Structure 1
Amino acid sequence: MEIWESAVVATHDFLSAEDFNYFVEAIPRDYLPNLNVYLVTEENEIVGFAAVAEDTLAMLFIHNDFRGKGYGKILCKFMKEITAFTKVDVNEQNSLARRFYENMGFRKISRSAKDNSGKNYPIIHMSL
């Protein structure tokens, strides 16, 4: 969760404090136990993680101290190789993530007004 918190604080300035606290509790309780989570490390230190649900990249987070060093690309490419996922959902307000996925070959296919938790954070659905 330290990695998730570091990444979210750096990239999700649109997230309310109440919703941040909701996800701090929900992710380890409701999400992570139901996913196979893969890690990327540097010198035996975990710097990021990702997970796929069916054909969708459900999460990819890199600790803020390691952002911009290629770990996201490494992890995304690895996840595509082992899971063959073809879709990703991105918060509309997270323009850095959207550009990252566009650079990885994803294109917008649709938009939802709310996230998967029913919260008012629009989601851009992307596909290869």
Structure 2
Amino acid sequence: MEISDIRPDEYDRAAELWEASVRATHTFVTEADLDVFRPLVRASFGQIAQLAGLRAGDGLLIGFIGVQDENVEMLFLDPAYRGLGGGSLLLKHAFAHFAATSVDVNEQNPQAVGFYEHHGFRFASRSEHDSTGKPYPILHLRL
């Protein structure tokens, strides 16, 4: 696996990875919510200041991380590649190249919370709703 920039012609693939990952890990998200989030996520790829992709040996995009103002805004992997160290590679890349020091994570996604805590993040605060106003509590974690 290697990390490189994501090209604009790969944004659709990144959006597919986002949705596959959310379906595998965010069991609390409804189909209606996916319909709301899908275009927002797709549009965000061109707006995130720092975006990097994880690639399989054949160059296929299998995951990505996005950082804005030192905050990890998104980290998603193809579910077939979970547990193989790709998420850790992306996060270490964000530490080294994007100066990431914080992340907001769904409280209802304990695997993600544990992943970030394993990498040194600690609870800083909590919000009752996500950034779209949905009733999905968010934990704000800091290094």
Query: Take 1:21 and 1:11, find their aligned partners in 2: how far apart are those partners?
Result: 17
Query: Take 1:21 and 1:7, find their aligned partners in 2: how far apart are those partners?
Result: 15
Aligned partner (choices 26, 31, 34) of residue 47 of structure 2:
34
* CA shift digits 1:79-106 (9 cap, x unpaired): 1100111100000000000000000000
The one-letter code sitting in structure 2 at the alignment partner of 1:98 is V
Query: Take 1:55 and 1:78, find their aligned partners in 2: how far apart are those partners?
Result: 12
* CA shift digits 1:21-44 (9 cap, x unpaired): 111111112x21211321011111
Query: How much does 1:5 deviate?
Result: 1.0
Q: Which residue in the other structure is 1:24 paired with?
A: 38
Structure 1 stretches (4+) deviating beyond 2 angstroms? none
* CA shift digits 1:67-89 (9 cap, x unpaired): 00000000000111001111000
Structure 1's unaligned 5+ residue stretches are none
The one-letter code sitting in structure 2 at the alignment partner of 1:8 is V
Structure 2's unaligned 5+ residue stretches are 1-14
Query: Take 2:92 and 2:126, find their aligned partners in 1: how far apart are those partners?
Result: 24
Secondary structure in 1 aligned to 2:46? Answer: helix
* CA shift digits 1:34-57 (9 cap, x unpaired): 113210111111110011010200
Query: Take 1:28 and 1:7, find their aligned partners in 2: how far apart are those partners?
Result: 14
Query: How much does 1:64 deviate?
Result: 0.3
Q: Which residue in the other structure is 1:59 paired with?
A: 74
Q: Which residue in the other structure is 1:83 paired with?
A: 98
Query: Take 2:47 and 2:132, find their aligned partners in 1: how far apart are those partners?
Result: 16
Query: Take 1:120 and 1:33, find their aligned partners in 2: how far apart are those partners?
Result: 27
Aligned residues: 127
In the TM superposition, 1:1-128 aligns within 5 A as 1-29=15-43, 31-35=44-48, 36-43=50-57, 44-128=59-143
Secondary structure in 1 aligned to 2:45? Answer: helix
